[in-house]
Amino acid sequence: MRYLILSDIHSNWEALEAVLEDARGAYDEILCCGDLVGYGADPNRVVEWTRRNVRVVVRGNHDKAAVGLEDLEWFNPVARSAALWTEQNLTAENHSYLRSLPKGPLLVGDLELVHGTPLDEDDYLMSALAAAELAGYLEKSVCFFGHTHVQGSYHINRGTVEWIEKPEAEAPRQAFELNEGAYLINPGSVGQPRDGDARAAYMICAAGERRLEYRRVAYPVEIAQAKILRAGLPGVLAERLAWGS
Ligand code: ZN
């Protein structure tokens, strides 16, 4: 089975469309680590596509925030106003779909999916030390996570942690093989990358061959930006798409 692994789409239809075109023919099923909505201007289009096409979706904090399942006091003002805008603009069907999304960890064959970490769906996994501490709590040796919007992986083996870097700025793809030990793998964010690379991020996982591939693809950022501004969402949400941070 070959999986297309997505995370943090954040209502960015243009980025999602570019990913699907780039990934065409490379996967059998689609999995998602959460945050379908929030920040971008196309929540309904993204959720409708997800309902039809994605096999397993773990809920993200922005999915909760857009349907009244998260206390918005914890959100910064920009994220809060995007969550409120999203809730006002979701159709009833998409609203109830988001409300029904399960909390991680979820298991799919030999893979584990979470939004934040295996212990806390809202936690940010950002250090080798934290990855080493989480290794003992994994139910499977390969766990995909999102939430940080940073593409990259922690490989934990016999007390050491190696960081497997994303592709170089000019490279679209970079593959690696799975070895012994545990992996915490972030496919990166489709719709709002924050790792210094504005291209949409995703992964292909050929589970049987134990081979993974980071991928990046450029998309028409200016169209997504124009929609955000036209919707009256905070301007910084449009600007940051161009920076990838
Ligand atoms: Zn997110």
pLDDT at 73 over 90: no
Amino acid identity of residue 11, one-letter, is S
Compute, in angstroms, the gap from residue 146 CA to the centroid of ligand 1: 7
pLDDT at 170 over 90: no
What average pLDDT does the segment 29-44 reach?
98
pLDDT at 74 over 90: no
pLDDT at 208 over 90: no
Q: Does domain 2-243 have CATH number 2.60.40.10?
A: no
Compute, in angstroms, the gap from residue 36 CA to the centroid of ligand 1: 8
Q: CA 78, CA 80: separation in Å to the nearest integer?
A: 5
Compute, in angstroms, the gap from residue 46 CA to the centroid of ligand 1: 14
Compute, in angstroms, the gap from residue 61 CA to the centroid of ligand 1: 7
Reported confidence tier of residue 57, pLDDT bands at 50, 70, 90: very high
What average pLDDT does the segment 53-60 reach?
98
Domain segments of the chain: what residues?
Answer: 2-243
What local confidence, expressed as pLDDT, does residue 200 receive?
Answer: 98
What average pLDDT does the segment 177-189 reach?
97
Compute, in angstroms, the gap from residue 158 CA to the centroid of ligand 1: 31
Half-sphere exposure of 58 (CA within 13 A, CB side): 29
Please, which residues have CB within 8 angstroms of residue 77's CB and are 6 or more apart in sequence? none
Compute, in angstroms, the gap from residue 116 CA to the centroid of ligand 1: 9
Instruction: Supply 131's token pair.
Output: 């990855």
Pairing of the two strands 152-157 and 160-164: antiparallel
Say which range, 54-58, 70-74, 82-86, has the weakest mean pLDDT: 70-74
Reported confidence tier of residue 71, pLDDT bands at 50, 70, 90: confident
Q: CA 39, CA 3: separation in Å to the nearest integer?
A: 26
Compute, in angstroms, the gap from residue 17 CA to the centroid of ligand 1: 18
Pairing of the two strands 142-144 and 173-177: unpaired
Compute, in angstroms, the gap from residue 88 CA to the centroid of ligand 1: 19
pLDDT at 237 over 90: yes
**pTM score, whole prediction:** 0.97
What local confidence, expressed as pLDDT, does residue 86 receive?
Answer: 97
Residues of the chain above pLDDT 70, percent: 100
What average pLDDT does the segment 77-88 reach?
96
What local confidence, expressed as pLDDT, does residue 82 receive?
Answer: 96
What are the residues whose beta carbon lies below 5 Å from ligand 1 (ion)? 8, 35
Express each pLDDT in 151-167 by its tens digit: 999 999 998 999 999 99
Instruction: Supply 19's token pair.
Output: 């990913």
Compute, in angstroms, the gap from residue 175 CA to the centroid of ligand 1: 24
Compute, in angstroms, the gap from residue 194 CA to the centroid of ligand 1: 10
What average pLDDT does the segment 165-187 reach?
95
Compute, in angstroms, the gap from residue 180 CA to the centroid of ligand 1: 29
Compute, in angstroms, the gap from residue 148 CA to the centroid of ligand 1: 7
What local confidence, expressed as pLDDT, does residue 207 receive?
Answer: 78
Compute, in angstroms, the gap from residue 192 CA to the centroid of ligand 1: 8
